[in-house]
Structures are given as C-alpha cells and as structure tokens.
Amino acid sequence: MPTPSKPLAGLKVIELGTLIAGPFASRICAEFGAEVIKVESPDGGDPLRKWRKLYEGTSLWWFVQARNKQSLTLNLKHPEGRDVLKRLLADADILIENFRPGVLEKLGLGWDVLHALNPRLVMVRLSGFGQTGPMKDQPGFGAVGESMGGLRYITGFEDRPPVRTGISIGDSIAALWGVIGALMALRHREVNGGAGQVVDVALYEAIFAMMESMVPEFDVFGFIRERTGNIMPGITPSCIHTTADGRHVQIGANGDAIFKRFMQAIGRDDLANDATLATNDGRDARRDELYGVIDRWANSLPLAEVMQVLNDAEVPASRIYSAEDMLGDPQFLAREMFLQARLPDGKPFKMPGIVPKLSDTPGSAEWVGPALGEHTATVLADLGYDAAAIARLRAAGTV
C-alpha cells in the first residue's frame, strides 16, 4: 500500500525569519510536507543556532526548530542576492517573514513588488505591532507582545510583580496564528478563486486574542482581572496543591458533577451534598474555604496516593511534569511524542514529536536542522544556476 502524501506536499514555502515566530511557523509547514527553504545570512545565519544549550557549537533547539528545512545562504543587501530571492518567490506559495515592518520595502521587496512578481503568493508577516498603526516601526519581541497583550499582567501572585511563562509563548502563539492565516489564504486562493494576500500578525494581538473575557468584563463591569497565583479566578476549584512528599499536582474539579465526586472521594459528603456548592458561582463565593479543604487533604498524602484517589474518582488532574517525568511517561510514549534522531556526529537524541496527529496524512521529521548553507548549491541549481554561476556568487559573497 503506498505511503500517503503529507497534507502540505506540493507547497513551496520561503522563510525569511530568525529566532522563533517565523521559523516556528515554517517548521509546522515543513513537518506536514511543504518544501521549506530557509534563507539565512551568510554571516552566521539564524542567531537561534547559538541559543540555549549548545552541542559542539550548535543549539539543540536549532536542530528541532529547523527540522525538515533546507538552508540557503543569501546576502539580501547584494543586488544579486535579491535577484536569487525573486527567482525563488516567482513560483512559491508562501513567504514567511518576521523582519521589522519596512525592512523588505527598503530592499525593494515589498508586497506590491512581490504580488506583481507572483500574484498567487501568500505573504505571512509576523512583527511586534503589525504592519500599520503608530507603533509599527518599533522593535517588539515576544516578551513585549506578552506584556502589551495582557498575559504578563495576570501572570504571577497578587503580592509580587508580574512574571513570565517559562517559554517564549508570545512568539509561538503568533506563529500558530500565522499558519492558520496562511491556510485560510490558501483556501481562498484555491477554492474561491482568489489571489494571494498578506497575513498580518502582530505579536501583541496574537496574545490579546487569547485573553478570554478580559475586555467585556472591564467594559461592562469595570472589572480588571489581577494576578491570582495558581488559582483560576472565577472557576472553582482549579488550582495547584502540594502533597505530603513535596510534589505538586494540578486539580481541576470545577465541573459540577466532578466536584461532587471529588468531595465524596476525599470524605467530604457534607460539601458534596451542599446545595450552595452545586454550581460554579456558589463554589467561587466560598473559594478560600474549598481550597483550604483541598490543601489539607493533599498535604496529608504522598503524590501517588493523591493521584490514585483522583483517578479513581475521575477527577481531571496531573502531577506537574518536568522533562525527566515526560520521557518515561506511558502516555507520551504511546502517543509517539519523542522522536529518535541523530546529531551531525551520529549521536542519538530525542526531540519532540509531531502535533497535531492526522489519521491519514500525518506529519513527520525527516532530518534535523541543517548546517548553515547546506542546501545552497542544490537550491541554486534547481533555479537554473550552473556550477560556474554558483562559484561566482560564492566568490562575490552573495551566497
């Protein structure tokens, strides 16, 4: 039986991105079958190559973030470098870029030029504040987007300054919106007979779009949601608790029937049968009392016993996982969430599996992030450059 093609097979994606947002968006495309050509500066390439933990001089993050991509080095300040890029884009489906607004225009590669070159091209533009508005020219990283978009304000404990999440979540969420927008634009092009268009994603808006009921609650009630630590405000009980052996567990017993089962399981039939606690609004009014009950119960038992009680009562819960916990967990293993790969020297290592799971056309990781310019000659040859022309471009510092 033939192997099914991946869902994005046949699409050509050009990435003009560095670090996180743009490269993560194109990584998703690459995992699901698109041909992704990452354009990097000949002078060191993507700075992500040197971020976090390095193995023999290259970031382990790089090997994941750039998997399934081809690396082409191009000096876009050189006229011939821009000519090469135009030839690449002439038959491309998607361009993903995360420069500051105006950079491509200064290079003579603005949307008007590229749309005239290739009317079918979809251009995904990821930036701090979008392509319009009074802040469009300001630099903006994911941390800035998280701050302006509202996430940082509500993250942390009420008696302490705001804190960040442990990952660059603003960039990654923006990347997801970029991919969603690109697929919408492709559907419009293919199904509705439309042309290519610009997908404009601002990092602060990517976060702002996730902020649930924050805006209407302020607009209607003048209510400003504040930091509440591990408690989910307005949804009770949902919190992290500490067990007798010093471990931590997230318990989400905020469903009406779930709450009743939970209270019965911990020997509190009085609370399970209390009519004032039968719905969320009643429970939230007695939030501190309920969390005191749950804290005392969790503190009295080791994690394994806590989890056994919760699982038997079908209460959604999880211990707080570290990477070490994940690597040996049966659920992660059953879902193939660790892929075995090899570093350039042959050393085996594990990297994250593919999300989402598609039943008929799943994604995969075919190779790890490439060496800088590893595919330059191949890509140029595919564009019609002969060996002499490629050598001349190299000698001129164009590639």
Kindly list the catalytic residues.
171
Phi/psi of residue 261, nearest 5 degrees: -60, -40
What number of residues does the chain have?
Answer: 399
Residue carrying structure tokens 């039939």: 269
244-262: string of b/e by CB count within 10 Å (b at 16+)? Answer: eeebebbbbbbeeebbbbb
How far apart (Å, rounded) are the C-alpha atoms in residues 176 and 307?
33
160 alpha-carbon distance from chain centroid: 27
The Cβ of residue 313 has, within 10 Å, a number of other Cβ atoms equal to 17
**CA angle centred on 333, ends 331 and 338, rounded to 5°:** 125
Count of helices and strands (H, E) across the chain: 18, 13
Residue carrying structure tokens 């992290």: 240
The alpha helices in the chain, defined as continuous H runs, are 21-31, 60-65, 79-89, 103-106, 111-117, 142-148, 169-191, 203-208, 214-221, 256-265, 269-272, 280-285, 287-299, 303-312, 323-327, 330-334, 376-382, 387-395
Residue 78: partners with Cβ closer than 8 Å, 6 or more residues away: 396, 397, 398
CB 117 within 8 A of CB 129: no
Residue carrying structure tokens 């500051």: 100
